[in-house]
Chain A
Amino acid sequence: MNKLNERQKKIRNFSIIAHIDHGKSTLADRLIESTGLVTSREMKEQILDNMDLERERGITIKLQTIRLVYKYNEEEYILNLIDTPGHVDFNYEVSRSLAACEGAILVVDAAQGVEAQTLANVYLALDQDLEIIPVINKIDLPGARPEEIKKEIEDVIGLDCEDVPLISAKDGVNIDQVLQAIVEKTPSPRGDTEKNLKSLIFDSYYDSYKGVIALVRVFDGSVKKGDIIKIMSNNKKFEVTEVGIMVPKQLPVESLEAGDVGYIAASIKDVRNCTVGDTITNAENPTENPLPGYKKVNSMVYSGIYPAEGEDFNNIRDALEKLKVNDAALVFEPETSAALGFGFRCGFLGLLHMEIIQERLDREFDLNIIATAPSVIYKVHKNNGEMLEIQNPTNLPPTQEIDYMEEPIVRADIMTPSDYIGPIMELCQERRGTYEKMEYIEENRVVLHYKLPLNEIIYDFFDALKSRTRGYASLDYELKGYQRADLDKLDILINEEVVDAFSIIVHRDKAYERGRGIAEKLKDVIPRHMFTVPIQAAIGGKIIARETVRALRKDVTSKCYGGDISRKKKLLEKQKEGKKKMRQIGNVEVPQEAFMVVLKFDK
């Protein structure tokens, strides 16, 4: 027993939490470098963020975990760094990562200070009773104001900042202070190796050779190759083929014991059998109670994904299947649209998750897709007492059958310099927000609390917020529940035909404005045809807006210069190519970008 405690005394399990862009990944890089595990030459910038997309957006989506070895007072300590995804869509995943730790480094930008996500992450860490170690980063910036930020952290979060490390992760300044603080302040893990296995899955991904790799934190007991394990939410049993640690590649070890962080491979075929937050125990000697906090992830945002002209439906299915293998949160099923043909209805955790999937289909699979306007889940109460959950506007029952509808509401915290309170309030009001309260966190900065319908957030709310505050405001939100609302299905008719892919569910007060906005924008992107093309917006058969694409009167080349037929042909071929990329809806050729029009609506 004493011996085990000796082992655990040398382990520190920690995460890094930060607002986006405050330098989490850069700090992780420096920690890895400084512990000598990876040489500078091998060091790929921001080693933890391994998807291109993540690197571009500066956010971590898929978790990585890494074991570092750090010498402190002549003794070697094992530091398990558990990365957390840095976006509000992935709050649940963040909370599970934090649950695997005893401490968290809170990175705060020396110029920007505490932001909405900083706070949100701090609350998540406090929920898990973590020791929070504040670190002020980017002291190299000209606008750095570490003393003020110290005070802000003390005032806003209530953390003692007397000996807070002032660092520049970019330049590698004072990184050692961070490592020392981790060893000194993070409690070592507890847990009894003699007890039955109890381990938390905080991430999982599919490896084509070993099956699902479950990244776990062992709380009690131990696990080794040959053990039969059980996934507690579904009682599925598997034989362990390998256990190991991440350095950051997989390195097999004899066993994982209480306090350790590592991976378990057990020839598990489906990542859905092994999802984040679940508990793994030993099948023969199971623990009595699973770890608390397991949640099945639910999609909050839905969108249709269809092959663009010339793209194969099957290719999209194959790509979605491949993405699904590593993404337990992605759901999809085939659906058919009158306008777009065969495609898929996909469910996502949130907007960012949706964008990431759509971009990965484009970049990693080189697929040409059309995504329809995102939708949330509405609760439709029918006159006959039946309640339907509808996320595809097309499936909405006729108005006369509907008693009332409910829509999802989120609680949004918007942190902003006080200069932008006006524009933000205006934006929230436009988006049907209900003001709750405003808190001053320092003289010039406030947090605005609003209740907002989720369906107002999914249409370019982030972009609108950023553009109205010059990027200074930050947003955090969580689902609060459902609320009754006057909602209508807005249809768009092109050449007198309803185009289902354009239908959206909107609030009655917004219907006119949105209908007109969409019709106006479609007018600009739909090319002129040989006939007049009316574009109409309608609610329940009543036309509320109309635009007209005038008939094309002239498409003729006056002069064929001196026998240069090749040039003439090239121009005609280009015209033909342009047409091929169009979607044929009835008699009308609609370009891909038309489907983007309904996604944006900020002026």
Chain B
Amino acid sequence: MSQHYPALIVIVPLLAAFIISVAGWINKKLCFPIAVAAVTVSTGSSIGLLFRVMNEGVVHYRLGGWLPPWGIAYYVDQLNALVLCVVTVAALLNLIAAKKSIEQEFPERIGPFYTLYVLFVTGMVGITVTGDAFNLYVLLEIASITGYALIAMGDKDRAPLASLNYLYMGTIGACFYLLGVGYLYIATGSLNMVDIARILPDLYQSKAVLGAFIICMVGVWIKMAFFPLHGWLPNAYTFAPSASSSLIAPLMTKVMIYVMIRLILTVFTPKFAFATLAISDSIVWLACIAIVMGAIFALAQRDLKKMLTYIIVAEVGYMVGGAWLGNRAGMTGAILHIMNDALMTLCAFLVVGNIVYKVKGYAFDNLKGLFAKMPFTMGAFVIAALSFIGVPPTCGFFSKWYLISGAIQAGHYGFMVALIFSSLVNVVLFFRIIEIGYYEPFSDHHGHDHPAEPMAEAPLTMLVPLYIVAAGLILVGLYTGNIVNHIIRFVIPGSFV
């Protein structure tokens, strides 16, 4: 059993998708338990796989027993084992939290929703687990297409357009990636990542390889919404139904960051990416711009969900910059932040889900008096906010620690300033929300007998997942040392200082 973990992670949700779509016709009530069961199996397998990788080292898995480079090989090291756990755990928690909200938002389309949901998860875990560059593209398309559909189910007026916009941009991004893989295939004759890495060193001077790398990177950047290629993201994530946005927002961009790091570390190797190309400095500057612009755009928003989407744009800058600093601390920070940012984005979007469920809106005006109305939801929101700001002991502090350390060691003080700037802007952003929820509406008296709003908290099935994530933000922060020493350390090549 345990040797089939890599396959189980992908195949179980894939099959479940078909079963759910059939079950949806028979009885809508069946969909939810099947989806939960499938994602739970996937989650269990990911966790099992992580432990196996930690004990035994890299796991190679041949799908159907075909040998690479012809067959599809799954390649699992500490990096994607970690990302797999994050993806599946986040998907599972969100699935449980989503039940009530989709029953409220579109009761007639429960079947399709769960089908798309597990298919999206299939795509995400597939991208992460695979060791085949072309297979990655296929799964990327699965994830993207289901993602477009999940987003289009939202706001009737604006979601379809936002989704279409995303579809155009996303398709261009995926095509770029495919084109890059094509060049690579021409140059090396292989699609297996490890195989490509073995063949490439002789071809470092080749223009085709250079082209492949740049095209792949641009494709991945579009998919991860790296500024200024982020145009599709804010509207798509804002107008999506809350259950979809809390699935896609934490995972899509982070998995694409993983792909970028995988391309740098495994496929093209750090020697090519940092030494031969020598463009890392400019990319870090681009990341600085992404961080600053993301923060500024976020400041301009007047609703919570859209503000969070711009924060994602800024956070993407954190990870791209960290990865391209080209040193140990920076790369550690970027990988750590994949996990941390996924968790804190999930936490924030689950909060939005709860608010929408109760208040039917996420504009700033809807948030008035929310601390009295939904104290538990807002409590979790404060924890997420602290993590975004980077207050210890939440995990956001520790990834920021590594990222800033990396910036200092690389002598890239611009990146350090950008990170500090974004932390400060996050203070303003989140405390503005907290102020609205805490003070408004103002009472006439001098505060002494504040009218107590009746409590109207979200149901327990939404609160429990939310609090698991919120506790995770603190626990992951406290155990950062262990995560770095036992998992991330092995991912980073020895050539990094």
- Asked if A and B are interacting partners, one says no
